[in-house]
């Protein structure tokens, strides 16, 4: 998704954050038409805030990153970051407080196709990579690793974490099962 939004920003002459806002709003509209009951407050907030937050913190993160790390450190950070992203996505999607619009879209499409979310997410990420390449987004090893790892880690974690997250949130009666 990141590479796609970067490419979209290139094509439209927008910052990465503003391209993310457009991307998220397009998916919010798709979710509105496909299955509006999946839209929650979190879905709308995600659509309009993530991009602005990214634009706000990017200069700070770039300054804090310092000199270029060694290849071994880059590989460790890449693997750790990919796994943490997948776990974070699994955790937040199991909470049922409103998904980000791309995540809601992916759950709807996986359900309609009767496909496990983990496999649909890999296909979706692959399509985002193709779109990124067409629009001049940058695709590196992390982009490809994310395509291969995020869905297979995130999908099962949603089901595994849902009972725990629902207990913490007081929604113990809520049943979350993502196929």
In this prediction, residue 65 carries a pLDDT of 67
pTM of the model: 0.83
**Tokens describing residue 117:** 């979310």
DSSP annotation of 38: G
CA distance 140 to 142: 5
In this prediction, residue 98 carries a pLDDT of 73
2 torsion bin: left (phi>0), alpha (psi -120 to 50), beta (else): alpha
Query: In angstroms, how far is CA 31 from the centroid of its own chain?
Result: 15
pLDDT digits (tens, 9 = 90+) for 125-144: 999 999 999 999 999 999 99
Read off the pLDDT of each residue in 75-83 and give the average, rounded to a whole number: 86
pLDDT digits (tens, 9 = 90+) for 85-136: 888 877 777 766 678 899 999 999 999 999 999 999 999 999 999 999 999 9
């Amino acid at each position: 998704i990141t590479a796609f939004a970067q490419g979209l920003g290139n094509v439209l002459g927008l910052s990465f954050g503003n391209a993310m806002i457009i991307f998220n709003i397009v998916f919010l509209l798709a979710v509105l038409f496909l299955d509006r009951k999946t839209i929650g407050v979190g879905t709308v907030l995600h659509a309009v805030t993530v991009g602005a937050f990214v634009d706000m913190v990017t200069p700070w993160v770039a300054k804090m990153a310092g000199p270029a790390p060694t290849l071994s450190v880059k590989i460790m950070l890449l693997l750790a970051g990919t796994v943490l992203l997948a776990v974070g996505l699994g955790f937040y999607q199991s909470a049922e407080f409103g998904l980000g619009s791309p995540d809601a879209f992916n759950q709807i499409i996986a359900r309609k196709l009767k496909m496990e979310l983990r496999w649909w997410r890999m296909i979706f990420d692959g399509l985002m990579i193709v779109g990124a390449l067409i629009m001049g987004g940058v695709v590196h090893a992390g982009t490809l690793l994310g395509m291969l790892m995020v869905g297979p880690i995130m999908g099962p974690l949603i089901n595994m974490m849902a009972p725990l997250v629902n207990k913490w949130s007081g929604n113990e009666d809520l049943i979350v099962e993502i196929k």
